[in-house]
Amino acid sequence: MTVKTFRPSVLTTWPDNGSPVANYVTNLSQEQYAIVVEAACTWFRSMETLCQARQQAAHQALSACEGAAKKLRTAGADANLLDIHAELMSFYLESPVNYWQRLATTGLQTQIEMMARFNHLFVGNTKERMEKAFSNFQATLPGISELFNKKLDATAS
């Protein structure tokens, strides 16, 4: 699996041109949606790599068994069964190790890419944009701050 380097998705700068709050919320949800879709792409790329690893392991097992069968058929009576069996067993001991190493590598690469995708939500500009969007949204709701303050005062007393 090739790990894709992360680049910020939809928004690179927050619009400060006096646009309505609906645009802030729309842009924020669009950015979140883009992040989720990119994460899905990461997941499917990982699944594709795992399927390729499974297919390659099956093809190698087929080749090893065909080779052993051909040796058994062509060698006749003077076939050294122990050597053929040892080669086949050697393959069956080495192949699973390679397969599981590839699966583990793919899993780690997927995890690294997913963490890189979601890390920028909690650091830097995106966090500030999210806080600004939510504060602007809250400020546009009529009387919400007074109602919230009254609730706080009632619970405090």
Q: Is residue 157 part of a domain?
A: no
Q: Is residue 87 part of a domain?
A: yes
pLDDT in tens, 120-141: 666 666 666 666 666 666 666 6
Range(s) of the domain holding residue 33: 21-139
Q: What is the pTM of this model?
A: 0.58
Q: Is residue 112 part of a domain?
A: yes
Give the DSSP per-residue string, 61-111.
HHHHHHHHHHHHHHHGGG--HHHHHHHHHHHHHHHHHHHHHHHHHHHHHHH
pLDDT in tens, 57-75: 999 999 999 999 998 888 7
Q: Is residue 80 part of a domain?
A: yes
